[in-house]
Amino acid sequence: MAQPELVRDRGSATSPDDGRPDALVHLRADGVSVLLDLRAGELPSVVHWGDDLGRIDAPTATALVEAAVPPLLGNLVDEPVRVALVPEARTGWLGRPGLVGHRQGRGWSPRFRTTAATLDREPLPRALATGEGGGTVRVEAVDEEAALALTIDLELTPEGVLRTQATVTNRGPLYVLDELAVVLPVPAEARELLDLAGRWTKERVPQRRALTVGQHLREGRRGRTGPDAATLLTVGRPGFGFANGPVWGVHVAWSGNHRHWAERLSTGDQVLGGSELLLPGEVQLGDGQSYSTPWVYGVYGDGLDAQAARLHRMLRRRPAHPRTRRPVTLNVWEAVYFDHDLTKLRALADAAEAVGVERYVLDDGWFRHRRDDTAGLGDWYVDEEVWPGGLGPLADHVHALGMEFGLWFEPEMVNLDSDLARAHPDWVMATGGRVGVSSRNQHVLDLTRAETAAHVLDRMTSLISEYGVDYVKWDHNRDLVDAGSPPGGEPAVHAQTLAAYAIMAELRRRFPSLEIESCSSGGARVDLAVVEHTQRVWASDCTDALERQQVQPWTAQLLPLEYVGAHVAAEVSHQTRRVHSMAFRAGTALFGHFGIEWDLTQATPAQLAELRAWTELYRSERELIHTGTLVRMDVADPQAQQVWGVVAPDRSRAVFQVASLARAATAPSGRFTLRGLDPDRHYRVVPSTLSRDAFGERVPPWFGMPSAVGVVAPDGVTPRSTHPAPDDVARGTVLTGRALAGAGLQAPDSPPETTLVVHVEAVSSV
């Protein structure tokens, strides 16, 4: 990818007489502009973040800065308050400050002055520097009196994603840091909030509210990202949707404790902010020591789909992005649970291979003493009683069938009833001289201890090497409550998070082809930091297709679908006891990284044949699904219907689903539209016969069912809907992209909890 173009409009690379940077910086990329004010040696302030301003010169940039200066208001400070990326309370900023800390009660309100600033490592000119195609800005500042130094890094990626990070360095006696944050201003029109909430097995539930005076603060204190994480806290013009309406969002790329907030002041100022949530005394900086915030990502777009697309393009550009075709994956958990038997598991592998599975994952229960979830966690040795020949006979069988072999671990956790905990009780996180409360019968291993981390890494390395493990399902089933590091019990969530990243990174260094899935009680560790080290996330422990119709498209607000594990489970849901057809389960799982979580040895021949057809469909469509643009339609009744899919980058093809979630207040459901296609091209739209249970009792004429040929209404012109014959194959209809987006197609009167998969392909002639 081309490097950003550096353009200097006028001025030299010299600094003002006092040597401090004194410039404006304009970054542009993919329809987004960021205008930064670094004048007079102050910390950088964002003047504009949003729609592209076009090429501007220095006088225009200066005029834009002046146009943004608020009037002086009564009973406030006598100078206009300038909101920096790291806001300083000393300026009169009355919102949440960017740096909170002290040195025995001193140095708590610093006054930073910039000492150096660069764009793409080049010194800034006096007037205006422009980064075409994005760019990276670094600003260095000091407060000699407070004995603190501050570095702010800001990058606008080629996809128009803005990310920032701040680093504070202590230059004196011990400094206790409580919080270091970055904030991004948003315009006054952004008055509606959208973020995500949820719980275990029901992650990423959207919630909306007005942005009013005060803070909308979302704190994660679980020691992991959490099923209830805000994920992408967004504000926008009221009424924004998937298709349009300007939105600005923020995401803290961190898998430990964290904060997201939106704040509106009585002065009219509005900001989005993000930081790590530090426990008391968790970061104490000695002389010369530094702390860096997680990267805080800011994402602007015209509509939620445009916002998501920027993130997806950014992730797909990274060298670490998974580029091999995402294999059809079978996980054995809901098939066998803890009942491990070589004969059964081999038979399951045979059945999996026969329906097109390409990766076989042995889940929890293979290691010593692990007959249920009360014991054995941490004893990463194959259970000799259950597996007298080790895992080799199963791994070899799986590999011989041409499938990858995956293995479940929970490296950060331990049962007290384990050889590891008995031998090393000091390796278990605790504080206050007590053993913490258990959760899911388990506790947390203190990976901040070098010997503990080395032991875990050694055991995983040994097993991966011995059995040729291709894939690790990395689970994390416990919140970090009382997460202290013995013997003193000092808080250690920050260091524990970094230690987990380090083990993941080292495993990938030792085994470059190894893939890792982030599974944390399902979808409780889904963030932009963990995907620096993993190639898949398990979006939810709930495999119920109806619940997944919410979880998967909202997980895709952050991550492209190739990361999002989505499995076809048994007909009766393990979690909800709902009964769903194969077509609904598989049609839902199609839009993600497709897999299976079901005892196939108990399936009927007809079920296996139908499942095989769905895996073949996934394998034929996965390149489109995993490289295309996510499109989610704004529908009249989202509780009853959901329409979403993927359009190819060249807009030659698309695949959508029209999901009927519940009975609509009116019948039938009316027309649905399909967005994102070339308005001037013609497309053949064909409903998949695999999703026949969504056809309903009668199908609309556009389905092009052979049984409807020649059937006309009494007026002799208008075709009628008709009962589809069992062996009918739909021929579909041909419409322009403009017609599909503007007028649409009549939805069938589908039964609830069904989904209609629709194939769209450009045609050269009508």
Q: What is the pLDDT of residue 765?
A: 67
Catalytic residue among 305, 541, 728, 749: 541
CB 480 within 8 A of CB 223: yes
Query: Whole-angstrom Cα distance, residue 61 to residue 68?
Result: 11
For the question of residue 475 being annotated catalytic, the response is yes
Q: How much is the pLDDT for 8?
A: 33
pTM attached to this predicted model: 0.95
Low-confidence ranges of the chain (pLDDT < 70): 1-19, 667-669, 707-719, 765-766
Instruction: Map out the domains of the chain with their CATH numbers.
Output: 5-317 (2.70.98.60), 373-381+411-538 (3.20.20.70), 633-763 (2.60.40.1180)
The pLDDT of residue 766: 62
C-alpha 75: how far from chain center: 43
Tokens of 319: 């060298």
Cα first-last separation, the chain: 38
User: What pLDDT shows up at residue 62?
Assistant: 95
Give whole-number Cα distances, 354 to 417, 496, 611, in Å.
40, 42, 10
| Residue 97 CB-density burial (10 A; 0-12 exposed, 13-18 middle, 19+ buried) | buried
Over residues 444-465, the pLDDT tens digits come to 999 999 999 999 999 999 999 9
The DSSP secondary structure of 212-234, one letter per residue, reads -SEEEEEEE-SSS--TT--SSEE
| Helix/strand/coil for 592 | coil
Q: Which of these is catalytic: 22, 143, 305, 475?
A: 475
What is the predicted pLDDT for the residue at 433? Answer: 87
Which residues are CB-contacts of 453 (< 8 A; sequence separation ≥ 6)?
A: 447, 499, 502, 503
Confirm if 662 and 752 have CB atoms less than 8 A apart.
yes
Listed in sequence order, the residues at least 6 apart from 488 whose beta carbon sits closer than 8 Å to its beta carbon are none
C-alpha to C-alpha distance for 165 and 294, rounded to whole angstroms: 6
User: Using CA atoms, how far apart are residues 313 and 65, in angstroms rounded to an integer?
Assistant: 31
Mention every residue, 6+ apart, whose C-beta is less than 8 A from residue 684: 732, 733, 734, 760, 761, 763
Q: Is 364 a catalytic residue?
A: no
CB-CB contact of 431 with 493 (8 Å): no
d(CA 240, CA 555): 19
Amino acid at position 686, single letter: V
Write the DSSP symbol of residue 695.
Answer: S
Written in H, E and C, the secondary structure of 311-341 is HHHHHHHCCCCCCCCCCCEEECHHHHCCCCC
